[in-house]
A and B are shown apart, each in its own frame.
Chain A
């Protein structure tokens, strides 16, 4: 069923620009780009048991870095800025992981959640107060992204660029969580202590996933900065970090596809509610999210995907059912 959902979403994603006008394509591009930090959070919480309230920190830091590279150094090439910002996200996440996850004793979930939350909050305050970063207004008028002499402007081209990046990152995440490495993550998610008694250095695995997730946010932040043409403190604060958590809880934790459905679902519902209930739409949205989180903890995807499929199979050699055994293929 997950594969069906993935294929349907891919088909919808590929076909959207054919039926949407420019306004909606720009909105769809933003949604596609926000799917990346949501995927990163699903890797963390859904697959590794790391509660991060700081994904926006990596996303926003990379976005600001992209803006500064373009504004101060004149770098707008996709081949320079995007890899550089991905590395910035990776390195920043590695530093955070060093402090939060690689201490002498295994940290609690709350410790990591508060640590990442504090990081995002501090970055938000720093950006708001630092004149060089534009303060409350952020950095406007970022020149467009380029690939050689070609300008990648917002619209269908940028949309397909974002979609290709999302599909590639999604495929890599999918391969990761279904590999033998993913099996270790599944074990950590269920019984972290038991896994360490098998000889796994659990915190190292967590630090690796945390760092990769930071890199995904960095990649997304760079593309978002050039797409929107400006960056501002809300891109690296607590608000967006919390939104990312909600996207994944709403769509379905531990499925990857749930993160994408969550982003698309919430953004679309928000748009509809804002259009029809100008004053009360945030309250209605909040109630809807609360309802889903309380009564459907596995999210929207949980309506059609079984628990067994969510956990999946890992690194299994293909085997045909035999008499006395009933193991299936990978």
Chain B
């Protein structure tokens, strides 16, 4: 049984068919890359999995539970966590508070009202920030961070909820080459904690971090397999040579 099973998922926006019967399986302990040309439906699929969009048809099962129609908060509680394509950190809160907010998301209402977990959470907040190069920025407002740092902060927040599956939508978008390299190094150890489904345009980056690749084209799965198999796939080469 795969950790995440997407079966025959379709999504239309008016006349535009964004997803057309997509099937996808993500196994536990795996970094699964999702690639494809612009407009192939990668981000739409991520949003359908996270609950930001409801698919028109199809089923999304996660950890043997049907998530197709449930709210994003319940998906998060089931163990899904997402970093969106457009960074959505909380700009007027400090870096510290952004991570604290993610860490305390399973705390009871009473403990939130009484702030009983704040001391216990402190070490975890610092540990989460040390995992990424944000330790020196704890008291800065998240909105004042560089784009790359905001991306890291959002990944740190997504990981802080202790997910079973982490969805990363273009985690290196807008980053410098050095930041991309560092992000790759930071992501590698994550698969020991959770599975990762990652959308990325940087093919070198995704080739380096992924165990399995799925290629989307025009809303459908073109091919799926190991990195080597996808690199050798004539169908994939054709799409990337002719349309990218």
Chain A residues within CB distance 8 Å of chain B: 176, 179-181, 183-184, 186-187, 190-191, 193-202, 208, 307-308, 311, 313-317, 319, 324-328
Contact = CB atoms under 8 A, between A and B. Distances in A.
Contact of A183 (B73, B100, B139): B100
Contact of B138 (A187, A199, A326): A326
B3 interface: no
A90 to B, nearest CB: 16
21 contacts: A179-B112, A179-B113, A180-B104, A180-B115, A181-B113, A183-B104, A184-B104, A186-B90, A191-B88, A194-B90, A197-B51, A198-B81, A199-B105, A313-B97, A315-B117, A315-B121, A316-B97, A316-B100, A316-B118, A317-B121, A325-B135
A175 B117 CA distance: 15
B112 A197 contact: no
The B interface, classified by DSSP as helix, strand, loop or mixed, is helix
B127 interface: no
A186 to B, nearest CB: 6
A100 to B, nearest CB: 17
Given A180-B104, A308-B141, A317-B122, 6 more contacts: A179-B115, A180-B112, A187-B90, A193-B88, A208-B109, A326-B140
A319 to B, nearest CB: 7
Nearest to A105: B71
A200 B73 contact: yes
A146 to B, nearest CB: 34
B135 A324 contact: yes
B92 A311 contact: yes
Lowest 7 CB-CB distances: which A-B pairs, in order? A199-B76, A317-B122, A315-B118, A327-B138, A181-B112, A327-B139, A199-B105
Contacts of A180: 100, 104, 107, 111-113, 115, 117-118
Contact of A317 (B102, B105, B118, B141): B118
B199 to A, nearest CB: 16
Contacts of B94: 313, 327
A317 B104 CA distance: 14
A325 B136 contact: yes
B73 A196 contact: yes
The A interface, classified by DSSP as helix, strand, loop or mixed, is helix
A198 B109 contact: no
B12 interface: no
Contacts of B140: 326
A196 B72 contact: yes
B197 interface: no
A317 B100 CA distance: 11
Contacts of B45: none
Given A180-B104, A190-B91, A325-B138, A199 B112 contact: no
B134 to A, nearest CB: 10
A193 B84 CA distance: 11
A193 B94 CA distance: 19
B105 A200 contact: yes
Interface in B109-163: 109, 111-115, 117-119, 121-122, 135-136, 138-141, 157, 161
Interface in B19-59: 50-52
